A and B are shown apart, each in its own frame.
Chain A
Amino acid sequence: MSAVIESHDHDHHHGPAKGLTRWLFTTNHKDIGTLYLWFSFLMFLVGGAMAMVIRAELFQPGMQIVQPEFYNQMLTLHGLIMIFGAVMPAFVGLANWLVPMMVGAPDMALPRMNNLSFWILPFAFFVLLSSLFMEGGAPNFGWTFYAPLSTTYAPPSVTFFIFSVHIMGASSIMGAINVIVTIMNMRAPGMTLMKMPLFVWSWLITAYLLIAVMPVLAGAVTMMLMDIHFGTSFFNAAGGGDPVLFQHIFWFFGHPEVYIMILPAFGITSHIISTFSRKPLFGYSSMVWAMASIAILSFVVWAHHMFTVGMPLAAELFFMWATMLIAVPTGVKVFNWVATMFKGSITYETPMLFAIAFVVLFTIGGFSGLMLAITPADFQYHDTYFVVAHFHYVLVPGAIFSIMAAVYYWIPKWTGNMYDERLGRLHFWLSFVSVNVTFFPQHWIGLAGMPRRYPDYALQFADWNMVSTAGAFAFGLSQILFLFIVIKTVRGGKKATSQVWEGAEGLEWTVDSPPAYHTFTTPPKVS
């Protein structure tokens, strides 16, 4: 995705540097956005390969492919890589490309810190993945790394795991600071907060969440480090500590984290549905307030991940009610998207297909989430495949589909080339069918009693595990098609206009496709 020097650019900016050093030292938000997006795609494929190992082992009952110890390493790394390596960096990449253009700013507020934020990520993942080759193997305690399994009983690589998590956290925090300062301080004159595009709003709120909770994750892993190496007893009952304290601190981070992984998706969906319905987004201010409410509520629901831990009744009731409450602002968003489509003038290009699928399938994930909120029922769902089905629905046909939608939607802007619409639709349908074949049966596998993080299972779960695995492989293969489509588009295609999409609104659609290396060096006037 290269940017081109505009001949009528007033400020005589030089074009990008040549060669490898361009990418190593760039402070340009477009370049850094590109780096994040490619990195996240690579991590998506790596994490996906691990998912294939998991699903291959689960194809049939019995242990066929890997040993249980290695299986636990796969499921741990799969989670860590998808969350911290694929979804989060993809959204940061989108933020980098889009936020400055959408607010009419020339770049992010702290361009050099922006570069650092990116480049520490490949380093962090190199450290994490190299743990596979260390003695004792990679981390094997789940991406949620509960103590004391992750402290007293952890393999030696746990120290590298902690180090790598610190670095990922630092990257996210620096990125969040950049986003907030850019949005709060560099908007073009006339762009009040309530005139900002929804993707910008979604990222503003997400960035505040990141500032609030990534340091708490850092605290949790630091306490782990201290327990493991410095003789403290935060999570060790022998020293007066409490393993459950770990869970409280972790989920205080962990719950807002899942909203960090979905809010930008909400922003993207609002843009795409509005454009392809050729109708303004319904209920702009409600949509903003809904996202803000979701973010605030996300701080007071964390213990719904811990309903079986033995909390007092009053606590369980509080967390049940608070969790159920989040359904209200979330529902408001879904209704507003539907109302945007209602009496619109809809066409079904690939971005719209992914966005519609997002709304439907994320809502299904939301329903299973509501079921999980009901504490006494959760006693039967917790740590089963019902939970696995829930979070994969909100993350895969949820977050990941929104990222794909965003790529299809904005890639003509980034590259100046239209992607191949037929191939895009093929990718969509393959992904849509396979993702449902993979994850829908997991709901009833879980209800029927199969626990999660199991490398093997009782015979009654065999048929649907086989189906799920078949779906997973089909989904994995379909993403190779996506890779092909992206590369093909970068290299060439039908030339895109500035507007690209009939009905698209926003400052990014006023610049060239592809945009100049430096856009909005003079701020635009916003009415």
Chain B
Amino acid sequence: MNKSAKKTVKFLGFAVFGMFFFSFALVPLYDVFCEVTGLNGKVALESTNIDEVDTGREIKLQFISHNNEEMPWIFKPSEEVLDIKTGKYYTTTFYVKNVTNKEMTAQAIPSVAPSNAASHLSKLECFCFNQQTLKPGEEALLPVKFLVDTDLPSNIKSVAMSYTIFDITDYDKQELAMQMNHDSMHSEESH
């Protein structure tokens, strides 16, 4: 095989490995892409602090819950609907109770609709930032402190905030926490 052919083989070999690593790079690359273009669909899993303003408008917030795979806790929003003004912080809670006879750990995953509202939602505090462990019979009121900013597109009058809780009792919780922290370092991703 001549020199030029050898060079081509080498180049192609690098290209193959490059594309393999590129596919893994796609995971964080999405976050970067979404930040740059402003396309958003997902909700941040980390705390963000934004200044309050007085120029907001009234919108309706709906809180929805779901237990993934029928995980046995009681999990429901304390308030199902909240009338708020954009540009101000509000706190609401979700009620949870571990009705089983074993200690369990759950992870709540947030999602917002419509999707173009997601980037306008900031959370100072959220039970979705951490894993929640409850002993048998234990119950709690988990808070969310959030703000919908005034840049929310004017045609959106109602935003749905949904939380799905997953049973992660059997997961390697330390590893999971590391993964979540890593994901939340990139604040927004597109779907």
Contacts and interface: CB of A to CB of B under 8 A. Distances in A.
Direct A–B contact in complex, judged by CB atoms less than 8 Å apart: yes
Interface of A: 109-110, 173, 176-177, 180-181, 184-186, 211-216, 218-220, 223, 231-234, 237-242, 244-245, 248-249, 252, 309-315
Contact of B179 (A211, A240, A248, A249): A240
Nearest to B18: A215
A186 B5 contact: yes
A312 to B, nearest CB: 5
Nearest to A314: B39
Contacts, number: 127
Interface of B: 1-2, 4-5, 8-9, 12-13, 15-24, 26-27, 30, 37, 39-42, 45, 68, 107, 109, 115-116, 164, 166-168, 171-172, 175-176, 179-180, 183-184, 189-191
B116 A233 contact: no
Given A310-B41, A312-B116, 8 more contacts: A177-B13, A180-B8, A181-B12, A214-B16, A215-B19, A216-B19, A238-B167, A311-B115
A310 B40 CA distance: 11
A211 B16 contact: yes
Interface of B: prevailing SS:
helix
A302 to B, nearest CB: 11
The 6 lowest CB-CB distance pairs between A and B, nearest first, are A219-B23, A238-B166, A215-B19, A215-B20, A185-B5, A240-B183
A211 B23 contact: no
A212 B171 contact: no
A140 to B, nearest CB: 19
Contacts of A310: 41, 115, 191
Nearest to A221: B23
Contacts of A252: 23, 26
Given A110-B9, A173-B16, A249 B23 contact: yes
B19 A231 contact: no
B115 A238 contact: no
Contacts of B183: 240-241
Contacts of B109: 237-238, 240
Contacts of B190: 311-312, 315
A234 B27 contact: yes
Contacts of B27: 234, 245
B168 to A, nearest CB: 6
